[in-house]
Structure 1
Amino acid sequence: MDLGIAGRVALVSGADSGMGKATARQLLEAGARVALTDVPDGTLDDARAELATFGEVVAVTGDVRKADDVRRIWETVRGELGDPDIYVNAAGVTGATGDFLDVDDHGWLDTLDINLMGAVRMCREAIPAMRSRGWGRIVLFASEDAVQPYTDELPYCASKAGILSLAKGLSKAYGSDNVLVNTVSPAFIATPMTDAMMEKRAKERGTSVDEAIRSFLDEERPGMVLKRRGRADEVAAAVAFLCSEKASFINGAGLRVDSGSVFTIAG
């Protein structure tokens, strides 16, 4: 399917692995020119080298918690590719976990700073040029946790609920300029983050990783009726669609990619 974005410039944060990298690949395959950004931990260049076979791609390191880094990321991308028409916010962390009473202010603030304020800072840079050209697509990664919170990861849940509200507000503020803002909400996708979660669970329970995954699905995610972790490319396909001309009448929406994990029909 032709997504109608050949030649468009896209910036993807959190792009060194997992769903961010898979999204970058699908945008490249659709003909977009793509900039990747992530923290400078040494893996972003590997992602760029891997994705370079699919199209024009550049990589810029930076930390979305730092306003100076955010400005530098956008200035660099503008200099190398031009103003992005598409921004995908996949940067995020699980953050502070545990009993609510045991999570201190630092744990809350750091989680919110990366997951919510990082998106705020990046969108602040993205929107002006999109408005001036009369075309833009922004997709923010939320989560099933935004509407179905889990008691041992409340900072993450709150940050993702904030993402839903942010996206809805931006969609109302800038939709009339043809800057369309939507969210995707994955659940238990096979990524380095959930790999680490399942390895920790397996070690704690003295089981294999496969058994840890099976027990997690049965005990913690009973709504996921497909009984498996999702694939990064399955999420990326939803994101790429929302970035496309095919989604030209979708604004302020949330698309769940969660195997049915969320029980409610609302939210």
Structure 2
Amino acid sequence: MNIELKGRKAVVTGSTAGIGRAIAEGLARAGAAVVINGRGRERVAAALRDLRALFPKGEFTGVSADLATPEGAADLFAQAPDADILVNNVGTGRPKSFFEIGDREWTDLFELNVMSGVRAARHYVPNMTKRGWGRVVFISSESALAIPKDMIDYAMTKTAQLAIARGLAEAVGGTGVTVNSVLPGPTNSEIIRGWMKAAAQEQGITQQEAEQQFLRTMRPTTLLNRFATTEEVANLVVYVCSEQASATTGASLRVDGGVVRTIA
């Protein structure tokens, strides 16, 4: 399958590192012009340098904006007013007991993980429908379906993304715009590598041993028995953004290594 995205412009939120960065690379490899986003100017600039070195003929734009706020979203839209492809990737989370999560932490996480995608879709999708072509992807998580007891707030935001994506797909049905969710499982991203490195140092074991321990204790249903790579997640996202995926919409697509025990 030859995925060709020349002439398409993609906005990938939270794309200076991790899964977002791998998605940006994948879309650029397929020929799309890509807008890179992050909160810090230095990280955005570094990502742009790396991507331009990898793809000398690629077209990249960098936008420093905190998408957890309406003001940050407005900055993004001012600098990247239109897009054919929107990947709502920006988000975060951390293990914490439900009983220790304060009200402000709940609302702050919701603003970043959920409202960033709501605002972006509300801005970009109308022009997609007018043109009769567009791709919107929400990067959710297997935690949206298999709720971890130590990240209930994170799981809530990821389940919310599934509802938004499905509802939006219904709203734009028949327009040529598709809306889907992609649900990664444990992935060797920047955030999780940091967690595993800290766990390994604390316990005096190797990082690989810490990863295997995490899978045994926290994701024992894994069929992959390792963390996915960011590229493996990005491969599915790039396909969903392609012309070849025109009949896939309103779907929740798992790239979770079999963590969620379901046949659906």
Which ranges in structure 1 are unaligned for 5 or more consecutive residues? Answer: none
Residues 16, 36 of structure 1: 8 Å contact kept: yes
TM-score when normalising by structure 1? 0.94
Q: Secondary structure at the match of 2:166?
A: helix
Give me the whole-angstrom Cα distance separating, in 1, the residues matched to 2:74 and 2:122: 10
Offset, 1:203: 2.9
Q: 1:263 to 1:41 in 2, by over 3 A?
A: farther
Aligned counterpart for 1:69 among listed residues 51, 68, 72 = 72
* Letter paired with 1:74: F
Distance 2:111 2:70 in 1: 11
**Identity, % of aligned positions:** 36
Q: Which aligned pairs between 1:47-196 and structure 2 lie closer than 5 A?
A: 47-52=47-52, 53-54=54-55, 55-78=58-81, 83-95=82-94, 97-196=95-194
CA distance in 2, matches of 1:161, 1:265: 19
Alignment check: 8 A CA contact 1:88 1:138 kept: yes
Letter of the 1:174 partner, please give it: V
Q: Distance in 2 between matches of 1:265 and 1:166?
A: 23
**CA offset digits 1:73-98 (Å, max 9, x no partner):** 122123xxxx2100001100015x32
The amino acid that maps onto 1:255 is L
Three-state SS of the structure 2 residue aligned to 1:43 is helix
Query: For each residue in 1:214-257, what CA deviation from the matched residue of structure 2 results, as whole angstroms up to 9, or x when unmatched?
Result: 11111111122221111111000100000000000011101111
Q: Work out whether residues 201 and 212 of structure 1, in 8 Å CA contact, stay in contact via their aligned partners in 2.
A: yes
Specify the SS of the correspondent of 1:176.
coil
**Unmatched segments (≥5 aa) in structure 2:** none
User: Is residue 89–residue 139 contact of structure 1 (8 Å, CA) maintained in 2?
Assistant: yes
Alignment TM-score, normalising by the size of structure 2: 0.95
Return the letter of the residue paired with 1:70: A
Deviations 1:132-171 (A, max 9, x none): 1111100010000000001110000000000000000000
Contact 1:4 1:246 in 2 (8 A): no
Aligned-pair distance for 1:41?
5.4
Q: Is 1:223–1:259's contact at 8 Å kept on the other side of the alignment?
A: no
Q: Deviations over 1:26-67 (max 9, x none)?
A: 111111111111112521111111111321111011011121
Q: Which amino acid aligns with 2:27?
A: L
- Once the two structures are superposed, what CA deviation does each residue of 1:113-147 show, in whole Å capped at 9, x if it has no partner? 11011111111111111111111100010000000
